[in-house]
């Protein structure tokens, strides 16, 4: 089976796909335990969330120094990506880099793009609690009083699209959605105005009744974002380059 079937496609977005029950509850529990039990220095503390980078951060020239990913980030997730051919067209045919982001209630991530270091496809597995991801078209411009100082800036006021990511779900964004949109998560402790009119993957949700009131309170949500870095270097080659015998 391919991941880009009509059963998983988010209708209003040509190149985004959503699978609500990508991992089981037991798999989710185990993954959360693994994230939580990583040694403390693994975490980078940012002002609005904390982050782990696997296998390591990219160099200044956006190169990944190749080293194996830990087994818990491969099995079952990357095996399932293989079954669905998610990274089949990527240069290395599989993800080689994973960011783990943890958001407590009130935390988020500013609208941004992931950039050209990566093949334009990101596959995100959500753990622990739902969260809304906002998409902003890059060349959308601001209008309205509060933005008049920044009229040439992309508009971060109102997202064009909102994707509700349930716990245990997979979201794949690629091509134009990757290159032409910014994505972000609001710093709020309540996601509001939820319904078929505002959430573009509403039809694909597993547990719509949780949002009957039109809002929910955030709880700690962790994401695993899988990508393929274009430029890779073997550690041995790097040591040779530095004149160090390996």
Could you list the residues that contact Fe ion (CB under 5 A)? Answer: 114
> What's the rounded Cα separation, in Å, for the pair 33 and 51?
15
> What's the rounded Cα separation, in Å, for the pair 109 and 185?
5
Taking the complex as a whole, the smallest distance from the CB of residue 61 to Fe ion amounts, in Å, to 20
Taking the complex as a whole, the smallest distance from the CB of residue 112 to Fe ion amounts, in Å, to 6
The option from Fe ion, ligand AKG, none interacting with 31 (CB < 5 to 8 A, set by class) reads: none
Q: Which of 64, 73, 223, 228 binds ligand AKG (CB under 6 A)?
A: 223
Taking the complex as a whole, the smallest distance from the CB of residue 100 to ligand AKG amounts, in Å, to 9
The values of phi and psi at residue 178, to 5°, are: -75, -45
The option from ligand AKG, Fe ion, none interacting with 169 (CB < 5 to 8 A, set by class) reads: none
Residue 68 burial (C-beta neighbours within 10 Å; 0-12, 13-18, 19+): exposed
Torsion of CA 35, 192, 181, 43, to 10 degrees: -20
> What's the rounded Cα separation, in Å, for the pair 87 and 25?
24
Contact at 8 Å (CB) between 135 and 151?
no
Nearest CA to 195 among 146, 162, 160, 236? 162
> What's the rounded Cα separation, in Å, for the pair 73 and 79?
10
DSSP state of 245: -
Q: Which residue has the tokens 């220095």?
A: 41
Nearest to ligand AKG of 56, 143 (CB atom): 56
Nearest residue to Fe ion on Cβ basis: 114
The option from ligand AKG, Fe ion, none interacting with 99 (CB < 5 to 8 A, set by class) reads: ligand AKG
The option from ligand AKG, Fe ion, none interacting with 164 (CB < 5 to 8 A, set by class) reads: none
Q: Which residue has the tokens 């695993």?
A: 224
| Residue 101 engages ligand AKG in binding (rule: CB under 6 A) | yes
Size of site (CB under 6 A) for ligand AKG: 9
Binding to ligand AKG (CB under 6 A): which residues in 112-141? 114, 124, 133
DSSP state of 55: S
Taking the complex as a whole, the smallest distance from the CB of residue 127 to ligand AKG amounts, in Å, to 10
Q: Which of 23, 64, 99, 204 binds ligand AKG (CB under 6 A)?
A: 99
Nearest to Fe ion of 45, 148 (CB atom): 45
Interface residues toward ligand AKG, by CB under 6 A:
99, 101, 109, 114, 124, 133, 183, 223, 225
């Amino acid at each position: 089976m391919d991941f880009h079937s009509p059963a998983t496609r988010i209708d209003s977005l040509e190149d985004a796909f959503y699978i609500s029950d990508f991992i089981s509850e037991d798999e989710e529990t185990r993954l959360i335990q693994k994230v939580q039990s990583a040694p403390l220095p693994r975490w980078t503390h940012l002002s609005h969330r904390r982050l782990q980078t696997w296998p390591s951060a990219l160099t200044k020239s956006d190169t990944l120094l190749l080293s194996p990913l830990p087994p818990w980030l491969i099995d079952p997730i990357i095996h399932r990506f293989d079954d669905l051919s998610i990274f089949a067209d990527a240069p290395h045919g599989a993800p080689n880099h994973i960011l783990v982001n943890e958001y407590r209630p009130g935390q988020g991530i500013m609208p941004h793009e992931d950039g050209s270091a990566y093949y334009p496809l990101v596959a995100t597995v959500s753990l622990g609690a739902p969260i809304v991801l906002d998409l902003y078209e890059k060349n959308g411009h601001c209008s309205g009083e509060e933005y008049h100082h920044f009229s040439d800036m992309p508009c971060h006021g109102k997202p064009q699209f909102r994707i509700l990511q349930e716990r245990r779900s997979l979201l794949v964004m690629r091509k134009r959605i990757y290159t032409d949109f910014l994505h972000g998560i609001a710093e709020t402790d309540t996601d509001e105005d939820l319904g078929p009119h505002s959430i573009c993957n509403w039809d694909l949700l597993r547990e719509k009744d949780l949002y009957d009131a039109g809002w929910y309170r955030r709880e700690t949500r962790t994401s695993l974002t899988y990508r393929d870095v274009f430029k890779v270097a073997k550690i041995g080659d790097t040591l040779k380059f530095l004149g160090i015998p390996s």
